[in-house]
């Protein structure tokens, strides 16, 4: 038994009879399996042929871009963040998909990516020589290859900040431990509870983190 492989979302299996049916068009049943490399889905389709007109037996499944996937768009080049000029002869900018999106086999699909595409001004991050409604979009590892993911970053790419919390009055003990070099601050409060005849201690940290200059960090696939 042979196997027909649809290796692109634009392909499908179509059948047309060489002539009109004498009485009734024959029925068909097709079983298929979709293997994306990370998921395996089975299915089937059935119907009836339509004489010499083409009938689709199996259509290739729509591509799904998952959150965290990386894509590149033909003609959209990365720029040096200091002088806004393209690198050398042109290096395509990589974008990260921020929400899982099923890409239809026909028509257009909106995909949310990060960073946003900015073509001018002080925050310019790409240069586009020519615009095209049919520019090729290439996912990274679109064959389903499993790859370790590593992160390389400069110390100024992200920041973790903590703040000194207020020290309450009327407790058994209240103090603060901090490290200016690390920028950490921990509050310690201890108080007697008459109901349980105990002295519980709590430690609190008020913190927040954010990317300061995300271009100074990158994801590296092995």
Question: Is there a domain that residue 78 lies in?
Answer: yes
Residues 78 and 109 in one domain: yes
Q: What does the angle CA 165 – CA 166 – CA 172 come to, to the nearest 5 degrees?
A: 115
Residue 220 placed within a domain: no
DSSP state of 53: B
Checking DSSP bridges between strand 126-128 and strand 70-78, what pairing results, if any? Answer: antiparallel
Name the residue with higher pLDDT: 70 or 130: 70
Comparing 19-23, 43-47, 105-109, the range with the smallest average pLDDT is 105-109
DSSP 184: E
Residue 179 included in any domain = yes
What pLDDT, in 10s, does the model give residues 86-105?
887 778 888 888 888 877 65
User: Is the domain of 79 the same as that of 42?
Assistant: no
Paired with 166 in beta bridges are none
* pTM of the complete model beyond 0.75: no
pLDDT of residue 158: 92
Q: Is the pLDDT confidence value at 74 over 70?
A: yes
Q: Round to whole Å and give the CA distance between 37 and 140.
A: 13
pLDDT tens column, 123-163: 888 888 777 767 778 877 655 567 788 899 999 999 988 99
186 with 128, same domain: the answer is: no
- Residues 163-172: contacts with CB within 8 Å, 24+ apart? 163/206, 163/207, 165/204, 165/206, 172/199
- Whether residues 165 and 181 share a domain: the answer is yes
Shared domain check, 70 and 132? yes
Mean pLDDT, rounded, for 17-27 = 74
Within-domain flag for 74: yes
137 lies in the same domain as 86 = yes
Q: What is the pLDDT of residue 185?
A: 93
Res. 188 pLDDT band, cuts 50 70 90: very high
In angstroms, the Cα distances linking 207 to 46, 100, 137, 154 are 58, 30, 39, 21
Q: Is the pLDDT of residue 53 over 90?
A: no
Structure confidence at residue 41 as a pLDDT band (50, 70, 90): low
Residue 151 lies in a domain: no
- Among 44, 61, 78, the domain-final residue is 61
Does residue 42 carry a pLDDT above 60?
A: yes
Phi then psi for residue 64, to 5 deg, are -115, 120
Domain stops at, among 142, 172, 189? 142
Mean pLDDT, the chain, integer:
81
If asked whether residues 72 and 128 sit together in one domain, one would say yes
**Residue with structure tokens 């799904």?**
64
- Whether residue 153 lies inside any domain: the answer is no
Residue identified by tokens 């395996």 is 40
As beta bridge partners, residue 14 has: 56
Which position has the higher pLDDT, 204 or 109? 204
User: Which residues touch 158 (CB under 8 Å, ≥6 apart)?
Assistant: 209, 210, 211, 212, 214, 217
Q: Which domain holds residue 164?
A: 158-214
- How many domains are there within the chain? 3
One domain for residues 77 and 136: yes
Collapsed DSSP state (helix, strand, coil) of residue 106: coil
Going by C-alpha positions, the residue among 119, 127, 73 that lies closest to residue 96 is 73
- Model confidence band, residue 167 (pLDDT cutoffs 50, 70, 90): very high
DSSP symbol at 214: G
Is residue 32 in a domain? yes
Q: Is residue 2 part of a domain?
A: no
């Amino acid at each position: 038994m042979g196997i027909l492989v649809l290796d692109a979302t634009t392909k499908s299996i179509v059948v047309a009879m060489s002539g009109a049916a004498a009485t009734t068009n024959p029925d068909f049943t097709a079983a298929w399996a979709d293997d994306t490399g990370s998921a395996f889905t089975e299915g089937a389709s059935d119907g009836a042929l339509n004489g010499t007109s083409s009938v689709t037996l199996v259509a290739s499944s729509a591509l799904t871009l998952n959150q965290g996937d990386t894509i590149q768009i033909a003609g959209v080049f990365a720029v040096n963040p200091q002088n806004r000029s393209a690198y050398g002869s042109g290096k395509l900018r990589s974008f990260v998909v921020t929400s899982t999106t099923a890409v239809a086999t026909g028509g257009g699909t909106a995909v949310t990516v990060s960073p946003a595409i900015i073509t001018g001004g002080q925050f310019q991050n790409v240069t586009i020589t020519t615009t095209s409604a049919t520019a090729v979009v290439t996912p990274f590892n679109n064959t389903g290859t499993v790859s370790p993911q590593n992160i390389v970053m400069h110390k100024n790419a992200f920041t973790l900040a903590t703040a000194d919390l207020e020290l309450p009055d009327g407790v058994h003990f209240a103090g603060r431990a901090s490290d200016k070099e690390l920028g950490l601050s921990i509050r310690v409060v201890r108080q007697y509870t008459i109901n349980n005849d105990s002295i519980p201690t709590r430690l609190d940290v008020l913190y927040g983190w954010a990317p300061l200059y995300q271009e100074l960090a990158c994801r590296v696939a092995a």
